[in-house]
Structure 1
Amino acid sequence: MTGGRNILALIPARGGSKGIPRKNIRLLCGKPLISYSIVEALKSRYINKVVVSTEDEEIARVSKKYGSEIIHRPEELATDTADSDDVITHAIKVLGEGHYTPDVMVLLQPTSPLRNAKEIDTAIDIFLHQDCDSVVSVSETPHSPYWSFTLEKSFLKPLFDEKYFHTRRQDLPPTYIPNGAIYVSTPEKFVENKGFYGKKIIPLIMSSLTSIDIDTEFDFLMAETILNHRN
């Protein structure tokens, strides 16, 4: 299904986590969090290589168990302040040294366990058949930024034109935020745009249910509730 293309799924997973200790391998409904991303990537009709980038031996061991290859990243790329773009660049460089150059790369963050193979393939399909720099998964913002304020000299100031405060919610323009689940581009466009955000970004609009990005204990509870309901 790849048409001779090398399509890489890259899953970045470091060992440290301030909010939830050992988050990437914490059990979610009996399975390590990272396993959900690996399993769905392996189900993809397009992806022919799945790689986890990590500095952590336990994460590497768990990831191999679920079928992923491993790139061992240096410690300086696994700190709280490490740039995720540098992690991606490092992975591409290591793969190139092993004579593998992806034509398309798909970034899958392990904190999005409800994102599925069908959504991954839809994003790739869009990227392959439309003129764009990248495809980025998004979800509709639950609270419109058109009703937002900023502070100016201790007083609330509308972030946008105050006319929006006299507009019904359903009449406001829809707005979207990246949900962190899926990013698709090429290594060349990634370097050119210094990331996944170029001039031509096509959204993959996902539901709020599959857009959960686990960062807190509440997110974990929400994901567990949804997964248990599915089962």
Structure 2
Amino acid sequence: MSTYAFIFARGNSKGLPGKNIKLLGGKPLLAHSICVAQQVPGIDKIFVSTDSAEIAAVAEAFQATVIMRPDELATDTASEWLAWRHAIETLQAQGDSFDVFVSLPATSPLRNVGDVQQCMASLDEQSDVVVTVTPASRSPYFNMVVRDEEGASQLVCSGSQVSRRQDAPVVYDMTTVAYVARPEFIMSNERIFSGRVKSVVIPRERAVDIDDIYDFKLAEMFLESKDTVHVGK
């Protein structure tokens, strides 16, 4: 089977302007995803979908193929699912078909090759999509609330009788480490949870999702810590 990796990186990020080409550990954020994809056995081609000429230049410098995305698919309100479809449609129009779609968002630079391999291996006949998750720090059964305009609050799972966190069901946060699906599922459905979803658990230190400068600083800290351990060995 042919497997293509895609990195979706728009140029007008509001949370951290220019984040997709901001240097992290000496190379652009975007390049971390490209470099991991290049090391994963079974990934045949790597594409970067973007609306930005600057991002496109960085992608090409790291040997990824660029798919230019229309401006209307690169706004704050645009669904990334539609950007996924656009990338698939662009390749299909060129006569380039493939079997497995892998999205490796630029905002998760701390993933490793093994994480991606595990996600790819988890896509089977009983699943349509594989996502990544990490243990949540809070639970809707115990210490997550909803509130109204007057401040009246109640548990998200308001019928829960859990009195200790240890007794609550284990819950997870979705991460952006990787998404794996078949192109035909993406083209015939409207969202991830339209299908049968499997998840792969990623340790929190590799699941940082960069949205703002605080996330970026956290990623820098984990990256520096990993480099220090490697040097120490």
TM superposition score normalised by structure 1: 0.92
Q: Which residue of structure 1 lines up, in the alignment, with residue 153 of structure 2?
A: 156
**Would you say the 8 A contact 1:26–1:33 is kept in 2?**
yes
TM superposition score normalised by structure 2: 0.91
What is the count of residue pairs matched by the alignment? 224
Which amino acid letter does the alignment assign opposite residue 163 of structure 1?
A: Q
Q: Which residue of structure 2 lines up, in the alignment, with residue 181 of structure 1?
A: 177
For residues 63 and 106 of structure 1, what CA distance do their matches in structure 2 show?
17
What's the CA shift for 1:177?
2.0
Runs of 4+ aligned structure 1 residues displaced above 6 Å come to: none
**Would you say the 8 A contact 1:46–1:124 is kept in 2?**
no
- What is the percentage of aligned positions where both structures have the same residue? 36
What's the CA shift for 1:169?
1.5
Q: Which residue of structure 1 lines up, in the alignment, with residue 230 of structure 2?
A: none
For residues 109 and 58 of structure 1, what CA distance do their matches in structure 2 show?
17
Q: Does 1:172 align with 2:165?
A: no
**1:162–1:96: structure 2 CA closer, same or farther, 3 Å change rule?**
closer
- For residue 142 of structure 1, the aligned residue among 125, 137, 140 is 137
Q: Which residue of structure 2 lines up, in the alignment, with residue 38 of structure 1?
A: 34
What's the CA shift for 1:154?
4.2
**Would you say the 8 A contact 1:185–1:196 is kept in 2?**
no
What's the CA shift for 1:116?
1.3
For residues 122 and 158 of structure 1, what CA distance do their matches in structure 2 show?
35
> Structure 1 regions of 5+ residues with no counterpart?
none
Q: Secondary structure at the match of 1:203?
A: strand
Taking only aligned residues, the RMSD between alpha carbons, in angstroms, comes to 1.4
- For residue 60 of structure 2, the aligned residue among 64, 77, 83 is 64
Q: Which residue of structure 2 lines up, in the alignment, with residue 100 of structure 1?
A: 96
What's the CA shift for 1:130?
4.9
Which amino acid letter does the alignment assign opposite residue 28 of structure 1?
A: L
Q: Does 1:133 align with 2:131?
A: no
